[in-house]
Structure 1
Amino acid sequence: MNTPLNVPKPVYPWPVFQSPFVGAFNEEECNWYDEDYQFLSPEARARYKENRLADVGAFMVPTVTDRDKVRAVARFVIYMTVTDDYVELLPLKEIAAFRDRVFEVMMGDEPRPEEKGILRQMQTNRKEWIAFGMPDSWIKRIAMNYKYRFLNDGTMEESPYKISKDVPPLPLFHLIRANSIGMIPFIDQICTLTGFALPDYIYKHTVIQRIVMLQAIIVALQNDFATIRKELSIESETFNIITLLQHHNKISFDEACTAGMRMHDEFVEEFVTLADHLPDFSPYQKETEEFIFYIKQMISGLNSWYYNSGSKRYQVGGFPVPPNGKGETTHEIAVKHF
């Protein structure tokens, strides 16, 4: 039996809460796959049903008591994750075409009957946002962030590295991963939870944008530690901070874990410092502070989901294989998180 690789778990310096909606959307989630994700193979859909992705929403917004709002977040989690899995190894022109079509639907265009059902999920999400009182300006913000930050600057920049199995320099890695992890459009949903769409002059402020970027970098690094077993077993997965540090610095796995966690903790420290020293955003100081509170819960909530949800996504045979992907291409690697 292989000796397990020891991988540390991130910790965060703020309280973590428990959502009453964990497990509440399992049946609906399975129905969504059967109704709107028929473009996936039967095996992929079966695996997604074991991934418990709807619970990501509940874990990441644990203090929200409005079931409809938690459902809307869960819906977003699922189609964002499926998007990432499905397109990551496609030719760039195909990703670009999908990127452009997603934007059109998010902005109000009707999906055509012959199009992939995932677009219907996006259309439903848009209707939910409107019902929650979100203005057109906010919908354009989240649609732009999904199109450009997530797909264009993230997935489309990451994909060539996965195909070539090359590795980027560390500063570029952080920027690409911060976008491809999908958290920049994801946290836009905080406005639907609070019922207040941050005005542009606050959202675009240098400090808020740095906090948004730090959240995305932190979650990307968090993901790398939680998913390392899967990624070590899939040949095309080269975007992981642990293996990247091993490659660039010629260090052992354990040394790379230590260095990567130190890097993660430094970003968390910067995040906390900025969150504790916000500029004066009067008359919306309270709303801005609430926005930051939800960002914190999203960080720690996702971390908790990885280790406590019962998801099979990162177990052997649990990850849905994308088109052009080979799935697990090496022997199972034992990992012990501590």
Structure 2
Amino acid sequence: MSPLLPDEAFYAGLQHLPKPRYPFPDFIHPHYQQQRKEYYDWIDREYTFHSKAAREKHKQHNLADIAARGCPFLSTLAELRPLANYTANGAMMDDYFDRCSRNEMYHITARIRSILTGEEYIEPTDNGIFHQFWILRQDAIKCAMPQRLYEKYIAAIHNVFVGYTEERTYYRANMPPPLSIYLIIRLHSSGGLPYCKYAAMQKNYRELPDDVLEHPHILRLHDLCSLLIGMHNDFISLPKELHREGDTMNLVKVIQHERKISIHEAYMEALQLHDNYLDEFMLLHQYLPPFGELQDMVYNYVQDLGIMVAGVYAWHTNDVSRYVNGGYVDGEYTSQEMDA
């Protein structure tokens, strides 16, 4: 994608189409500015393998703000750090490894999992992506994250990277997947499921037992949140992804390819699918199963899941640097398996 592309051609009239809307209030964590400063610091400290231009662009993106908006009710900065780390480091590594092969991403994913589980317990000697995930684990321990919640969190993070892995097949082929395959992959690669798990760290929700957090009704709500986040990300990033070969994991491009319709028609169909999922979320929130004395707490937890989705979207709508013309960071990793 050329940063010199005229804005009129870049946006192709898409900026005038309707946007997602959420019936939830907007919040941001009170310590978001301090988290930003830490984010800037570890970009300079950990990401020295990135070019200076890439590091400066990442600083402008303020990726740690996604965590501050998605889980604004975490009590302390210490509790915000493990979520901000995953969010920013995960997004930046996805940028960096943008054109690696499926096999390469599989091995990267396995290494991250071993670090997060503690199987690889010795601190990595080099700064960078893997060292930052080691820090995530240490920060989770420091903020006294309950082990059962931590295990749910890192299992969801692992599946995010499984989603990244499976996307590579379609990136390499420069071919959108079928819609049914897209939905499987995007459920995880959107990055929303770890947020659903981490949301239990807010308020008094860590008191919710596994019988609640693993209830099929609640898990469906988690899935809906993750799909909504993936879809609204696709709407925001569509202009960029229309002008980059290989950026095929986008709902609008998937529908356009599958239905053989115009990009504007595909956008409206994608928005309708998004809105159907939002309607389902609202219905499931209204008709929760009976959870006894925990009913009000569960209702509030689900309400905060909605605030989480709206908060992530608020970052997108406030962002004026990442998905704008020339704002994206192109992958700098050179694949060793160019034909994989």
Between Structure 1 and Structure 2, how many residues are aligned? 323
**Could you say which residue in structure 2 is the equivalent of 1:282?**
292
Cα distance between partner residues in 2 of 1:303 and 1:294: 14
Deviations 1:139-166 (A, max 9, x none): 222222222x2112x1111111011011
What runs of 5+ residues in structure 1 fail to find an aligned partner? 327-338
- Residue equivalent to 1:181: 190
Contact 1:90 1:324 (8 Å CA) reproduced? yes
- Across the aligned residues of Structure 1 and Structure 2, the Cα RMSD in angstroms comes to 2.3
**Aligned partner of 2:184: which letter?**
L
Structure 1 pair 314/173, CA: closer, same or farther in 2 (3 Å)?
A: same
Which of the residues 290, 299, 305 maps onto 2:315?
Answer: 305
8 A contact 1:211–1:271 mirrored in 2? yes
Query: Structure 1 residues 125 and 113 mapped into 2: Cα distance closer, same or farther (>3 Å)?
Result: closer
1:146 matched to which residue of 2? 157
How many Å separate the matches in 2 of 1:214 and 1:325? 35
The answer to which of 189-198 and 9-18 deviates more is 189-198
- Structure 1 residue 261, shift from structure 2 partner: 0.9
Alpha-carbon displacement from aligned partner over 1:232-268 (angstroms, at most 9, x marks no partner): 1211101111122221112222211211111110000
TM-aligned CA deviation for residue 222 of structure 1: 0.5
Q: 2:275 aligns with which of 254, 260, 265?
A: 265
Report the counterpart of residue 140 of structure 2 in structure 1. 129
Matched with 2:121 is 110
Q: Find the residue that maps to 1:208 and give its secondary structure.
A: helix
Structure 2 regions of 5+ residues with no counterpart? Answer: 1-7, 336-340
Residues in 2 aligned to 1:89 and 1:200: alpha-carbon distance in whole angstroms: 38
Aligned counterpart, 1:97: 107
Q: Does 1:314 align with 2:340?
A: no
Contact 2:232–2:313 (CA under 8 A) maintained in structure 1: yes
Greater helix fraction, Structure 1 or Structure 2: 2
Distance 2:81 2:33 in 1: 11
Once the two structures are TM-superposed, the CA of residue 93 in structure 1 deviates from its matched residue by: 2.6
Amino acid of the structure 2 residue aligned with 1:263 = L
Overall identity of the aligned pairs, in %: 28
Superposed displacement of residue 301, structure 1? 0.8
Q: What is the alpha-carbon distance in structure 1 between the residues aligned to residue 334 and residue 257 of structure 2?
A: 23
SS in 2 for 1:15: coil
Taking the aligned partners of 1:280 and 1:133, their CA distance within structure 2 comes to: 30
**TM-superposed deviation, 1:64:** 4.1
From 250, 253, 256, give the equivalent of 2:266. Answer: 256
> 1:49: how far off?
1.1
> Taking structure 1 as the reference length, what is the TM-score of the superposition?
0.87
Cα displacement (A) at 1:91:
2.2
Aligned letter for 1:98? Answer: I
- Range with greater deviation from structure 2 (1-10 or 243-252): 1-10
Q: How far does residue 18 in structure 1 lie from its aligned partner after superposition?
A: 4.6
